[in-house]
A and B are shown apart, each in its own frame.
Chain A
Amino acid sequence: MSDSTLLSTLLLSPLISAALIFFINMLFLNPRQSLFTFLALTGSGVSAVLALIVSYQSYFHAQVFTSHLFTWLSIGEFTIELALKADALGSFMLLFVAPVSFLIHLYASGYMDKDKSYGRFFTYFNLFIFFMFLLVLADNPIIMFIGWEGVGLVSYALIGFYFEDIQNTYAGNKAFIVNRVGDFGFLSALMLLFIEAGSAGFSFDSIFLSLAQIDPSMLSLIAFLLFVGAMGKSAQIPLFVWLPDAMAGPTPVSALIHAATMVTAGVYMVARFAPLYTMTPDISLFIAYVGAFSALFAAIVATRQYDIKKILAYSTMSQLGFMFMALGVGAYSTALFHMFTHAFFKGLLFMAAGYIIVAFHHKQDIRELQGIRKSLPLLFVMMFTASLSISAIPPLSAFFSKDAIMGALYASGHVELFLMALVASLLTAYYMFRMVFVLFYSQKTQSTKKSSKSMLYPMVVLTVLSVFAGLLNLPELFGGNLNISNWLNLLDKELLLPHAKELLLISVNTLLILGVILYTYKRYAYTQAIHKESQENLVAKKFYVDEIYTLLITQPLHYLSIFFEQKISHGIIDRLINLSALYYARAGILFSYLENGNVRFYALYMLIGVVSGFVYLYWALRGVL
């Protein structure tokens, strides 16, 4: 198979399987569920295998795969090729997106078992991978934008998957609308970028070559607008409000789209535009601050959540904040590496949550799920491991990725960012272990008999990965040489600390986290502390952000709409038009008084006419006479 067909197959196989499932689901009355499973797993499996080949070739032989499908649009200078390119960054994305997608497909085949909309689910799910690959592999930003909007669209459809409850579809609407506010920025940025630098072609490489000609203030504007897109997709302040609501979708959706892949697209995009962001330090710093505030905010809110999926959703937002902090200080590959490990442990956590939810009759409140360790021992081990990993306990994967971020923040000299990250990281340990201790360490016991092998196997694989994936990018301190950072070869800033300082930082950090876990154990394990928490304070109410948005945006728009339609369109304009017709009729009545058929009046009109004629003649001829 040639390189270009390989890449095209990688992209198209999920699309083809989505199309097949769609048609079978539409045309046949009672299709067999196993057929759908087969098609869906083949579609995502083929692309996962090919993705591993591509990343293997890229890592070991520095091979760049390209494929040109067709010319999408060509008007004057605006030429957009539908071309794919898997460079180091693209291959790195494939390396985790494709296999994780496959694993979650496998998991979903168990989770969605016997659902009446099984076919519809996998149509969307496979379509999602297609758009995600398009986003990652696109060689120019317009095609990337299509993939970007496409994943948002599928996400909308999947959040509202159980449309029988209209609230679920409202959550989907919210996700799409908030995302599109971000896309507004993204698209505007692309248009400006094209006008400023598109004359030599609009592929990423040619854009980066012409960046130097752009006026610095315009460049900052473009960088800012691009980041607005990332804020929407990656749920950062102020466009994060959709992510917690997005948990209305089936749990595999939360695992795949709202934890492992789609929400990280913003991070990928900023990394992709690294050449642009290195030229705009102000905007980069802004990104770091947005990331820091988001990380802290989400971590604080997560400490008072009870819905197991919402805790994880805020946790995702918080971890994404960490990635943006790293991007902002110029540690691009560090951010990407955290995204890589995050995909495994957060995917695992969501799958575990889904497993619990299925096992216990769709209960999601941790207060109602206390004491499930006896019935789900394996799950307990996996969830405990993942929680240790996300809390950055050595030597689990997130320890290496998160610690690298902390180190980079410290080395960048922005102490305030470092401190915010530290607090957020301690809170991470707190809210994760609050959840774990409430769920698994309780006097109560609940039992269940349900279990599904196809759900369990992918989780085992991800557990292994969450433990060991960190070794791929081992820093020098531990005898590694940052293999992944070297492979990605992005424009990373040199942010090195002396080894002694780094070691000190790590030790203090780890000790603090262990301390927090111990405190959480004291507070929540085998106690009723969870039931005594206040529901009324600012944190429990999520800082009233949703209410503020409703008050400031949704309601004013609604009133404005009524004002426009009833007061202006009908009250003023239409009324004037109808009145003018009325006065036209009135004028007719006036004239009908004159035209009354009475001979005396006509004689009078004649007299007036004749007199006026004479007056006029006199006036016209007065010079002659």
Chain B
Amino acid sequence: MSSLSLIIFLPILAALFLFLKRLNITVVKVIYMLVTFTVLYLSLELYINFDPEASMQFVVLHPWISEYGINYHVGVDGVSLGIVMMNAILMPLVAIALYKQRDKKGYWINLLFVQGGVMGAALSLDLMLFYLFWEIMLLPIFFMIGLFGYGKKNFIAMKFNIYTILGSLMMLISILYIAVAYKEQFGSYSFALDELKDLRLSSGESLLVFGGFMLAFAIKIPIFPFHTWLSDTYRSAPTGIVIVMSSLMAKLGTYAIWRFLFTMFSETSHEVAPYFIGLGLFGLIYFGISAMSQTHLKRMFALSSASHLSLIVVGFFIYDIYGLIGSSYLIVSHALSSAAIFLMAGMLYERTDTYSIAMLGGIARIAPKFALFFAFFSLSIVGIPLTSGFVAEVLIILGAFHYNIYVGFIAATSILIAMMFMFRMISRVLYGELRDATAGFEDLRMHELFALVPLALLILAMGIFPNYFIQKIEPTASSYTSQKEAPSYDK
């Protein structure tokens, strides 16, 4: 079995095995660790063997439902490599940080399942396969919120699911439509990405199909105005799944825009790009300003994530090498930062039983390590120099200025937006007087440090030596932007 298939199916099979066998919780945790570390090892091997000069590699193609042109077709390139690595790195770290708190088997089984689903969706080169994995990811999230969530969890889980399924169904219709259209033009069904890009649709048709896909992605990311599920869902979801949603799933939505829509509907994407750049820039500012008045820590971080995701969307639609690399880099960088910050929010809740900013304070007096890491990760989201976010934001802003000077100025406000709420939040959570909730706040434990230190080091390494990492993305990006240069681009 190739390593890509192993990366995808090892977690899923392990999850199924654990689900069927009624094992002791300790054994479940051990197996979880073994599996995620194996995946991490395989992914690291993949990273090292990844040839930066080539774009798509490690391709596996097995016939599956061949008469309808559905195949098992996976491969990795510079951009998806980033998501695979994030997934592989975050999953074991999440477990290390949380292993003491969570003694429900379902928690770990669902997380394994999600890991496989995300890997599959990121690596698929076949639309049907992609759709399958895209939906598979959803189930564990539904169960996790329903079983382990907080607040009005049932209503929220249901709303989130119906909302995203609505989007996914539109995508399914679009997928089927283009498969049929392909048969009309070429004589057989196909769901393979590299074949479908030869498909010619009238502009009206392709706009509709594009819209179907886009709805699914826009809900998942989320892009304004499809964001209203976000803050409630993040608030209710348990820590493990918030990390999956903010660091992996949302990023997967932006990645899918690039991978599928830009490949298949290159011209339509160019035509609609100005609208999505506009929406993205609007979202960047709208979510940022919305976050300013939040009193609930997780909702604030949720809106902060949405703001950055809008910036990623802008970077992709700018259609330029700086924007593309910047967005890919921001995907990875923000995944690290937001995973870390949600982990720490979880630790905070476990110690204080509250997410309310007004009830916290003075933590830095008695828990200096916690304060240090919390401030560092918050600032890394703001994009201070020497962190990865800085590099990514500079690149996207450069791309934006390249595209259009006004777009550039609005994109550059991203260096202002996050800090407007982040600094005040840091002050109120960490500094000042101790409150009832924070009295006796316990500093970071050893296992929590084990989870957070690698994230911090990676963020720093990506900020200080970005060239080393970007060399893996650059050839993919430049081959892509050079061949996809459309006439409507230069205005």
Contact = CB atoms under 8 A, between A and B. Distances in A.
Partners in one complex: yes
Interface of A: 26, 70-76, 78, 142, 145-146, 149-150, 153, 160, 163-166, 169-170, 172-173, 176-177, 180-181, 183-184, 187-188, 191-192, 194-195, 557-558, 560-562, 564-565, 569-570, 573-574, 577-578, 581
Contacts of B359: none
Contact of B466 (A73, A165, A170, A180): A73
A78 B325 CA distance: 12
A457 B379 CA distance: 38
Given A75-B470, A188-B408, A191-B397, A557 B431 contact: no
B292 A153 contact: no
A173 B426 CA distance: 9
A558 B293 contact: yes
Contact of A74 (B162, B365, B467): B467
A181 B420 CA distance: 11
Select the residue from B162, B322, B379 with max chain A CB neighbours within 10 A.
Answer: B322
Interface in B420-434: 420, 423-424, 426-428, 430-433
Contacts of A72: 465-467
28 contacts: A72-B466, A73-B467, A75-B322, A75-B395, A75-B474, A76-B478, A145-B385, A149-B384, A163-B430, A164-B365, A166-B361, A176-B423, A183-B415, A184-B413, A187-B394, A188-B401, A188-B408, A188-B409, A188-B412, A192-B408, A195-B398, A195-B402, A558-B293, A565-B293, A569-B228, A577-B163, A578-B159, A581-B159
Given A163-B432, A177-B419, A191 B412 contact: yes
Contact of B401 (A73, A170, A191, A578): A191
Interface string B305-337: 000000000000000011001000000000000
B143 to A, nearest CB: 21
Contacts of A163: 364-365, 430-432
B453 to A, nearest CB: 11
Contacts of B413: 184
Contacts of A564: 286, 289-290
Interface string B406-449: 00110011011001100110111011110000000000000000
Contacts of A177: 416, 419-420, 423
B290 A561 contact: yes
A135 B96 CA distance: 39
A375 to B, nearest CB: 35
A75 B364 contact: no
Contacts of A569: 227-228, 290
Given A163-B432, A177-B419, 14 more contacts: A71-B467, A145-B385, A149-B385, A150-B386, A160-B427, A163-B431, A166-B432, A170-B424, A176-B419, A180-B415, A181-B416, A195-B398, A557-B292, A565-B294
Nearest to A26: B369
A191 B292 contact: no
B139 interface: no
B225 interface: yes
Nearest to B291: A561
A574 B228 contact: yes
Contacts of A192: 401, 405, 408
A15 to B, nearest CB: 11
B348 interface: no
A561 B420 CA distance: 11
A56 B230 CA distance: 61
A187 B362 CA distance: 34
Contacts of A581: 159, 162
Interface in B153-189: 159, 162-163
A166 B290 contact: no
A520 B245 CA distance: 67
B391 interface: yes
A173 B424 contact: yes
B365 A191 contact: no
Contact of A561 (B289, B409, B412): B289
A574 B225 CA distance: 9
A560 B289 contact: yes
Nearest to A160: B431
A384 B390 CA distance: 46
Given A166-B431, A191-B398, A150 B420 contact: no
A173 B422 CA distance: 9
